[in-house]
Structure 1
Amino acid sequence: MNKWLSVFLDKVGLHLLHRKRSVLPQFRNHFDLQSFTAMNRDSFYHVRSVPSLSFELSYHEHYLSGCYKFDSPIHSGDADNENTSGICYLSKRNEEPVHVIMVHGWRSDNLNNFKAIFLKQMLRRNYHVYFPTLPYHFNRTAGGLYSGEYMISANVGRTVTAIRQAVLEIRALIQWLKQHKGGKIILIGISLGGYLSNLISLYEKEIDALVSVMYANDLSFEIWHTPIGRYIKQDLEIHGFTYEKLRQSWSIIRTDEQQPLISKEKILLISGEFDQYIMEKDAKGLWSAWGEPQRLLYPYGHAGIIFNRKQIAKDTLKFIDSIVTEGSSYVDCIYHHTHST
């Protein structure tokens, strides 16, 4: 896919995305920035106790499917957002389990595209697959006009709380799986899910592999300098909130402030060279800050998540299989459609 077509597809996607936007101003800055910035980052993202999960499952020939639920470790103040839930597909083979946690993107209103990339091939490998519902998405919108409206917005403090909530909920799921099921934990995130997965890897040691696709590093940069944040930036500027204030307020949710707890060899970063949603400059900044782990830079835009999903699946599964299979190793390749960085 050439640059012109990649940029065009992303611009069409952004136009469609912005057809739904907040009608009322979201700006709020009623939170204690000093206490947030003074707090130890490890304490900020610490899971105090492993929750109890409940499952509702249906039986199929080779697997079980259904949902899981538990109480969120963070109280957001919005009743619809207080309970954590997710969809799961569990293999009937339990020896040496592999748990794959897939984190969806911002403003997703269903998981169809995400499932289309990976699910079938994961089930063929007898992996257990989990799709957590992020705060303020799907059935957790808490009265928002669209899925994800309240997760990232000009409400500066609520955005920080929602990011923290997502990190703690997925960390709680990981720790429950390790405690009750054992096996390997594979974390895959796309777009916002990639950013969150990267953030989780800074604090969670029970991750055996991380794949982050079309991820951001610094949300304040993306909101201020990319088309995806146009109306949030507008809301902030109208209320006199500057870029420097936003950077300071959201510093605790940056992903390049620390090193991940897993080794570089267990990380695969995937970016789009012509991405109009997530600037390649921001994605490359994280790669550099993390000591240059394995990275694939596709000659696509953000829309490559959909239009090039077969290649994303191929590269991701090749990497994961090498982690799961003892003694194997992933070798960086220069494909005709990608180039490694």
Structure 2
Amino acid sequence: MFYKWLDHWEERRAQRGDEGKKVTDVVLAAELAFPGAGNVASIADFCDLADRAVADPSYFDEPIGSELSFEAGNGWISFPSDISTETDENNTVFARITKGRSFDHALVVFHHWNARSRNDLLAKSFARQDITVVEIALPYHLERKRPGSSHADYMLSANLGRTIRSVRQGVLDGRKLIRWLRAEGYKEISVLGISLGSWVAGLIAAHDPTVRKAALFLTAGSLADMVWTGRATQSIRASLEPAIKLPDLNRAWGPVNLENYTDRLARPELDILVVLALRDKVVLPELSKRFVDRLNDAGAKLDLLEANCGHYSLSIPPYVIQSGRRLRALLCRRP
């Protein structure tokens, strides 16, 4: 009876999230994902560029000469993004910082798609345990929201190039913030990503060797498979399906597919926690388990929590307590 109620609660929550989502045209916009690409007219050519980006170890590196022009005060940090977009509001990054007592450990948090607030309880809880929590706004979210938009449609959409650019922008923003935290004296940096934020956090953990602990909640490897099968992204699939097949979408979005970086995530000094929801209709558990299997095959240092809840109900008791305890165990673990 409880799980029947829980599934019904999940569906009602998903229906609220459908508001404002529309079917749109597929747009390649390769120049947004691959600077200097020029005019790319076919999906096949886009996929070729994506394959090259996956093979390029510098694709998620900060630009040479990126400056730490940060403003900090009253519990907030802001700085210019190293990727400039057509939306002025999106070009300044904002993060809320809840400080612990020392400079030993900072946790950078990447929220879910269409987040409308930050997590006060999480921030205050870990700050009391002497872990500084920094909650960064992903592109086109919160303070970076595109004027007039009902949701963060520029972060994830049927515009193939802009979606890659947005995830890449989130990765570069996060790496720049981590570099600043290091300069401020923090000795240990960890990342937590939730749902879409887990792709950003996972890519940072894969490419930034200064990150030693990564918690990926409600995650999977393939962004394309998640969008194709997920309850929250049905309008995007409806947009994509007439123009592109799923195998081609997996190639096109290869640069942001965590399964392409399992060897990097399996480096010996990185501890990973994956939390998946067994009743999830947004990030299907079979996708999460496939990613976990690939991490295990690569030899990653992996801890796994399988919660018997849905995507949204991970945020309510008892599931939020279970995941919080496992996250605390990860962050307090000594090398």
Aligned counterpart for 2:138 among listed residues 130, 134, 137: 134
**Is residue 2:249 matched to residue 1:246?**
yes
Shift of 1:176: 2.1
The corresponding residue for 2:11 is 11
Counterpart residue type for residue 9 of structure 1: W
Q: Is the 8 A contact 2:71 2:79 kept in 1?
A: no
**Is residue 2:304 matched to residue 1:318?**
no
Q: Is the 8 A contact 2:112 2:196 kept in 1?
A: yes
Counterpart residue type for residue 275 of structure 1: D
The corresponding residue for 1:194 is 198
For residues 62-81 of structure 1, the aligned pairs below 5 Å read 65=75, 67-81=76-90
Aligned counterpart for 1:203 among listed residues 194, 197, 207: 207
Shift of 1:4: 3.0
**Is residue 2:95 matched to residue 1:86?**
yes
Aligned counterpart for 1:285 among listed residues 287, 290, 311: 290
Q: What percentage of residue pairs aligned between the two structures are identical? A: 19
For residues 166-245 of structure 1, the aligned pairs below 5 Å read 166-238=170-242, 240-245=243-248
Query: What's the TM-score, normalizing by structure 1?
Result: 0.84
Given the superposition, is the C-alpha separation of residues 143 and 37 from structure 1 closer, same or farther in structure 2, using an over 3 Å criterion?
farther
- Higher alpha-carbon deviation: 29-38 or 241-250: 29-38
The corresponding residue for 2:51 is 37
Q: Is the 8 A contact 1:72 1:165 kept in 2?
A: yes
Q: Is the 8 A contact 2:50 2:251 kept in 1?
A: no
Q: Deviations over 1:149-200 (max 9, x none)?
A: 2100011110010011111110111122223323110111111112221122
Shift of 1:126: 2.3
Shift of 1:144: 4.9
Q: Is the 8 A contact 1:74 1:82 kept in 2?
A: yes
The corresponding residue for 1:52 is 68
- Higher alpha-carbon deviation: 3-12 or 158-167: 3-12
Counterpart residue type for residue 254 of structure 1: N
- Higher alpha-carbon deviation: 229-238 or 162-171: 229-238
Q: Is the 8 A contact 2:230 2:283 kept in 1?
A: yes
Alignment RMSD: 2.1
Task: State the distance in 1 between where 2:180 and 2:113 align.
Answer: 25
- The number of residues matched between the two structures is 310
Shift of 1:55: 3.0
Q: Is the 8 A contact 2:221 2:288 kept in 1?
A: yes
Task: State the distance in 1 between where 2:220 and 2:120 align.
Answer: 21
Q: Is the 8 A contact 2:77 2:94 kept in 1?
A: yes
The corresponding residue for 2:108 is 101
SS in 2 for 1:186: strand
